Chains A and B, each alone.
Chain A
């Protein structure tokens, strides 16, 4: 196994809530690794902590109200990002680690042209002249498949369509050839035909540039098509981690299982009239008051006493190499309790 590019250990990012009524433990002890060239998918629903995890890596968490707890550890190519001086951090951010956000309209500055914004990182990190940066920006626009790049380079964000804005965001992120691209819901705001274009583009660029990608999404379909490995998050924690094929074939955490069963599928057989979707009862608890024991137990169809009292660690599923498939569930110690669903 190669040396990991990024190593996150016991990351805890907490927020002090407005009313001072409590601390939201948005990310609560998350550990994982990203290897060079791989695509790691992180899936989960709103409030599970997937976005806060990615923002923490780049130290983009607003402080206050947020803070990364002592004891957390984020190592990129052997350096702890959490103890780097601001100047050293800036040399990495946007250069070796880049990020693409969900909202291409609000993440682009409306008063600068596409070319200015794409070229900025090359000026800052590589000392390119304005003129050289503009030429690089045109190359990048061509790379991400925008027609007439010589013309588009001088356009402002409002002159571009949603799909083109997202391509500009990707061009911005990739201009310095980062080793790691963090893509947070990169296609969520886009129509499905444009989403297909962007996913193809990311696949192609990853193959060409050999970078690693952390793909954060709520869409299991997107993960299935793009990721090598998947992390499923719930209530600020990783609840399951496995190679993509393995996870979709054998989801072991009841949350992963329930999530997969509740997705409407285009490849499902025609519906029965008044047929029903599987649902996970209840809703995600508040980050200020995670349930005791296993955080999923109030919604879990298999929960028993132990789940209500004792928080499960990530347990090895015993498939493949140790650590390739881990699950935060006591069912792994008592598999016969996985009775057919009620």
Chain B
């Protein structure tokens, strides 16, 4: 195992929300978006961070880059603190429509980071922009285009080129392929794999789709209500998931095979509100585990090693389901 390029320890981010329309005199509520998340990613590897809406995965992404300031915890990349290294950490967002400035050409979008970080100007910038476009599979003539002239897949390639323009080591991909059609999604996933190899990039790949993550991640962490409930090498997680939430998630994904004989675990109810998460194990009200008992309602299971390098936060992770 190579040394960790990125190390996140005990990340906490709570958001205060005002109550109601008229805010005076009402108690504030706390949304526990991220509640003590730790992980490390080795250089040149990919950690897949998965979970459903509201589980806190995007807040983890933004806190890791300090696009929002975490309440507690540390984020370190190598020996130096991360903030000075913003140039070396970049992010690609989900929405290729919302994340590009509609009034800027692709050239302007790509030239800006080069200028801000004093990497290149003039003819050198022009040369770099052409090379970047080519690297993400776009013809250099796209430099003159505005975002509305591009398809979703092309826009996402521009978003990737912009992230790469400052030569980062670490890239956060926040639902970067989720909005794309299947055939385009496959193209962009292959591009990301190629870029990782060529530039030895380290990825934090955030997605709700476990099938997509399976193709790109070396390690996978599953989040539920602000906490990581399972963290394992990808092969182990998909073959032998230990947390009942991971097991249910995997079983719920529709498989493009009409003859598949699968036991679909349908979880009851919705994800509870992160304003008032259930006590003990956050998952206990929906948990289908046959061994579930009073302990789950009282005691929060900690993330513990249940098999070599395989961590799960469940009192009954060793028991069959």
| A residues neighboring B (CB under 8 Å) | 45-46, 147, 161-164, 191-197, 199-200, 218-225, 244-245, 248, 258-260, 262-268, 270-271, 273-281, 283-284
Contacts of B184 in A (CB 8 A): 45, 283
By the criterion CB–CB under 8 Å, are A224 and B186 in contact? no
Contacts of A283 in B (CB 8 A): 151, 153-154, 183-184
B270 within 8 A of A: yes
Cα distance, A276 to B189, chains bound together (Å): 8
By the criterion CB–CB under 8 Å, are B190 and A221 in contact? no
By the criterion CB–CB under 8 Å, are A191 and B53 in contact? yes
Residue-by-residue, is B164-201 near A (CB-CB < 8 Å gives 1, otherwise 0)?
00000000000000000111111101100100110000
Task: Tell me the smallest distance from the CB of A245 to a CB of chain B, in Å.
Answer: 5
26 CB < 8 A contacts A-B: A45-B181, A45-B182, A147-B269, A161-B270, A162-B53, A191-B52, A191-B271, A220-B182, A221-B253, A224-B258, A225-B255, A245-B259, A248-B259, A263-B186, A263-B256, A264-B214, A265-B211, A265-B214, A265-B256, A270-B238, A271-B216, A271-B234, A274-B197, A280-B186, A281-B187, A283-B153
By the criterion CB–CB under 8 Å, are B253 and A277 in contact? no
Tell me which of B33-41, B244-252, B292-300 binds A: B244-252
Cα distance, A114 to B256, chains bound together (Å): 34
B208 within 8 A of A: yes
B43 within 8 A of A: no
Cα distance, A262 to B234, chains bound together (Å): 20
User: Among A45, A196, A224, which residue has its beta carbon within 8 angstroms of that of B252?
Assistant: A196
Known A161-B270, A196-B264, A279-B187; judge A224-B181 contact (CB<8 A).
Answer: no
Cα distance, A244 to B258, chains bound together (Å): 7
By the criterion CB–CB under 8 Å, are A260 and B256 in contact? yes
By the criterion CB–CB under 8 Å, are B52 and A193 in contact? yes
Contacts of B258 in A (CB 8 A): 224-225, 244-245, 248
User: Among B210, B214, B270, which residue has its beta carbon within 8 angstroms of that of A194?
Assistant: B270
By the criterion CB–CB under 8 Å, are A164 and B270 in contact? yes
By the criterion CB–CB under 8 Å, are B209 and A264 in contact? yes
Cα distance, A194 to B185, chains bound together (Å): 23
Contacts of B24 in A (CB 8 A): none
Cα distance, A178 to B74, chains bound together (Å): 57
Cα distance, A304 to B214, chains bound together (Å): 36
Q: How many A-B residue pairs have CB under 8 A?
A: 139
By the criterion CB–CB under 8 Å, are B256 and A46 in contact? no
B254 within 8 A of A: yes
Contacts of A244 in B (CB 8 A): 258
By the criterion CB–CB under 8 Å, are B254 and A45 in contact? no
Contacts of B266 in A (CB 8 A): 193, 196-197, 200
By the criterion CB–CB under 8 Å, are A193 and B211 in contact? no
Known A222-B254, A267-B255, A277-B186; judge A163-B235 contact (CB<8 A).
Answer: no
Interface hits, B202-229 → A, CB 8 Å: 208-212, 214-216, 218
Cα distance, A45 to B269, chains bound together (Å): 31
B2 within 8 A of A: no
Q: With A259-B183, A278-B186 given, name 18 new contacts (CB 8 A).
A: A162-B53, A193-B271, A221-B254, A223-B256, A224-B255, A224-B257, A225-B258, A260-B256, A262-B185, A264-B189, A265-B214, A266-B250, A271-B214, A271-B215, A274-B196, A283-B151, A283-B183, A284-B181
Task: Tell me the smallest distance from the CB of A221 to a CB of chain B, in Å.
Answer: 3
By the criterion CB–CB under 8 Å, are B153 and A193 in contact? no
Task: Tell me the smallest distance from the CB of B309 to a CB of chain A, in Å.
Answer: 15
By the criterion CB–CB under 8 Å, are B254 and A276 in contact? no
By the criterion CB–CB under 8 Å, are B182 and A259 in contact? yes
Contacts of B185 in A (CB 8 A): 262, 264
Cα distance, A258 to B184, chains bound together (Å): 11
Cα distance, A124 to B23, chains bound together (Å): 41
Cα distance, A218 to B238, chains bound together (Å): 24
Contacts of B151 in A (CB 8 A): 283
By the criterion CB–CB under 8 Å, are B234 and A195 in contact? no
By the criterion CB–CB under 8 Å, are B208 and A191 in contact? yes
Contacts of B255 in A (CB 8 A): 221, 224-225, 265-267
Query: Which are the 8 A-B pairs with shortest beta-carbon distances?
Result: A221-B254, A262-B186, A191-B52, A196-B252, A45-B181, A220-B256, A280-B183, A277-B186
User: Among B189, B260, B267, which residue has its beta carbon within 8 angstroms of that of A277?
Assistant: B189
User: Among B153, B214, B234, B256, which residue has its beta carbon within 8 angstroms of that of A248?
Assistant: B256
By the criterion CB–CB under 8 Å, are A279 and B256 in contact? no
Task: Tell me the smallest distance from the CB of B222 to a CB of chain A, in Å.
Answer: 12
By the criterion CB–CB under 8 Å, are B187 and A225 in contact? no
By the criterion CB–CB under 8 Å, are B190 and A277 in contact? yes
Contacts of A284 in B (CB 8 A): 181
Contacts of A221 in B (CB 8 A): 253-256
- What is the chain B residue whose CB lies nearest that of A198? B266
- What is the chain B residue whose CB lies nearest that of A45? B181
Contacts of A147 in B (CB 8 A): 269
- What is the chain A residue whose CB lies nearest that of B210? A266
By the criterion CB–CB under 8 Å, are A277 and B256 in contact? no
Cα distance, A262 to B211, chains bound together (Å): 12
- What is the chain B residue whose CB lies nearest that of A189? B53
Task: Tell me the smallest distance from the CB of A287 to a CB of chain B, in Å.
Answer: 13
User: Among B187, B197, B253, which residue has its beta carbon within 8 angstroms of that of A266?
Assistant: B253
Known A193-B249, A225-B254, A270-B238; judge A45-B271 contact (CB<8 A).
Answer: no
- What is the chain B residue whose CB lies nearest that of A243? B258
By the criterion CB–CB under 8 Å, are B270 and A266 in contact? no
Cα distance, A164 to B268, chains bound together (Å): 12
- What is the chain A residue whose CB lies nearest that of B217? A271
By the criterion CB–CB under 8 Å, are B193 and A192 in contact? no
Contacts of B234 in A (CB 8 A): 270-271
